[in-house]
Amino acid sequence: MFNINNIIRSNVKAMKAYSSARDEFQEINNNFIFLDANENPFDNGLNRYPDPLQRNVKAVLSQLKNFPADQILLGNGSDEVLDLIFRAFCEPNQDNVISISPSYGMYNVLANLNAIEYRKSLLNESDFQPNVKDIFNKIDDNTKMIFLCSPNNPTGEIIKKEYILEIVQNFDGLVIIDEAYIDFSDEKSWLEEIKNYPNLIVIQTLSKAFGLAGIRLGILYASAEIIAVLNKIKPPYNINQLTQEKALKILNDYDKIKFSTKTILNQKQYLERALQKFSFIKKIYPSDANFILIKVDNATGRYNELIKKGIVIRNRTNDDLCENCLRITVGTKEENEKLISQFLSF
Ligand SMILES: *Cc1c(COP(=O)(O)O)cnc(C)c1O
């Protein structure tokens, strides 16, 4: 069964982490004189290196998510934490990973960048749920990770619990569940299952429901053993001071986040209803996220028509199983109404 020592790359196992000045002396205390990191001594609010372990941010996240702070890793967006797991666990030109398809494009980009074979397992066309049997057929001795995005981008739906369980329980590599959109869903996060499954990694982000795509903060939750490996190889100061400060501020105002999430979900309901009256829209897929996937008569044509009117949506027609599909992000009330009134003029 799963044993982390079987999947850490040998160079990572052998390496010693870079020890930064702020690692060696962690206590931030205004009474000390810091002459250890070659910083500029003149205080402008940002002249010191940031906390490499972002302990204040993790403490708040830990409370908010009811999850141990020492089992959290933060990255410069989800992109960085995803890249770190490739680098820690996948041997270039030898290992492979499996992902459902269609799904988030970055998994494939990062596999290519790290010289890791990327194996796609198509979702079932009828319900966009994974074909578990096909996933297991694609596993071999060099399969290190399976990517499951739930709610999935671009399809929008949560992956059923029974399918994820079957994969997590029967695969002896890592299962990564990307929950970028979980805050828009009624379904529970997989966070609390991490204590039961040492091969489970959950990834979340402040880029969507938390409204902070601009600060780049991705969050990885996993066992303490996995976090220790990733902490060893991450760039020491990967989360800058401004990001840490802004994240703290927003996380401490969670009621505001909940209110904006609710507003977005109400607007999604408005859009879903309004979209039903157009005959060029052939299908509106159910969504547990803050976007809606629709199938239309001619995706590229409709997409270009909207661009001419100054409205940009996402054309997903080239994704697997998404022929003539468009992905619409839920905007403000005014934005959504403008979209619908443009559709009325088609
Ligand atoms: C938007 C999105 C993310 C967020 O990526 P960041 O780098 O954290 O902004 C992650 N996963 C999926 C599936 C997404 O759609």
pLDDT 10s digits, 170-216: 999 999 999 999 999 999 999 999 999 999 999 999 999 999 999 99
Domains of the chain plus CATH, in order, are 4-252 (3.40.640.10), 255-344 (3.90.1150.10)
- Among residues 117, 124, 171, 175, which one has the least CA distance to residue 146? 175
Question: Residue 5 corresponds to which tokens in the numbers above?
Answer: 């020592």
Cβ 280 vs Cβ 302: under 8 Å:
yes
Cβ 282 vs Cβ 295: under 8 Å:
yes
Distance CA 209, CA 258 (A): 8
Q: What is the β-pairing status of strands 174-178 and 200-205?
A: parallel
Atom of ligand 1 minimally distant from the CA of 205: 8
Q: Which residues are within 8 A (CB) of 242 and not within 5 positions of it... i.e. 6 or more apart? A: 46, 215
* CA of 204 relative to ligand 1 center, distance in Å: 8
Cβ 104 vs Cβ 128: under 8 Å:
no
Q: What is the β-pairing status of strands 218-221 and 72-75?
A: antiparallel
The CA-atom distances, in angstroms, between 163 and each of 149, 150, 168, 178 are 12, 11, 9, 15
Cβ 234 vs Cβ 18: under 8 Å:
no
Question: Residue 267 corresponds to which tokens in the numbers above?
Answer: 């607007």
Which residue type is seen at 279?
S
Any idea which residue has 């157009």 for tokens? 278
Establish whether residue 205 lines the binding site of ligand 1, counting it when its CB lies within 6 angstroms of any ligand atom: yes
Long-range contacts of 37-46 (CB under 8 A, 24+ apart): 46/241, 46/242
Distance CA 30, CA 32 (A): 5
Cβ 326 vs Cβ 296: under 8 Å:
yes
Distance CA 299, CA 291 (A): 16
Establish whether residue 114 lines the binding site of ligand 1, counting it when its CB lies within 6 angstroms of any ligand atom: no
What is the residue-level pLDDT of the chain in tens, covering all 346 positions? 899 999 999 999 999 888 888 777 766 666 789 999 999 999 999 999 999 999 999 999 999 999 999 999 999 999 999 999 999 999 999 999 999 999 999 999 999 999 999 999 999 999 999 999 999 999 999 999 999 999 999 999 999 999 999 999 999 999 999 999 999 999 999 999 999 999 999 999 999 999 999 999 999 999 999 999 999 999 999 999 999 999 999 999 999 999 999 999 999 999 999 999 999 999 999 999 999 999 999 999 999 999 999 999 999 999 999 999 999 999 999 999 999 999 999 8
Residue nearest to atom 14 of ligand 1 (CA): 180
Question: Residue 103 corresponds to which tokens in the numbers above?
Answer: 């799904």
Establish whether residue 218 lines the binding site of ligand 1, counting it when its CB lies within 6 angstroms of any ligand atom: yes
Establish whether residue 77 lines the binding site of ligand 1, counting it when its CB lies within 6 angstroms of any ligand atom: yes
**Stated pTM of the model:** 0.97
Q: Which of 74, 152, 205 to mutate to test the pocket of ligand 1 (most atoms within 8 A of CB)?
A: 205
**6 Cα distance to chain centroid:** 25
- Detail the DSSP E strand segments found in the chain: 72-75, 96-101, 117-122, 143-149, 174-178, 200-205, 218-221, 281-284, 291-296, 314-315, 325-329
* CA of 260 relative to ligand 1 center, distance in Å: 19
Cβ 152 vs Cβ 130: under 8 Å:
no
Give the model confidence (pLDDT) of 270-307 as tens digits. Answer: 999 999 999 999 999 999 999 999 999 999 999 999 99
* CA of 171 relative to ligand 1 center, distance in Å: 25
Establish whether residue 289 lines the binding site of ligand 1, counting it when its CB lies within 6 angstroms of any ligand atom: no
Establish whether residue 221 lines the binding site of ligand 1, counting it when its CB lies within 6 angstroms of any ligand atom: no
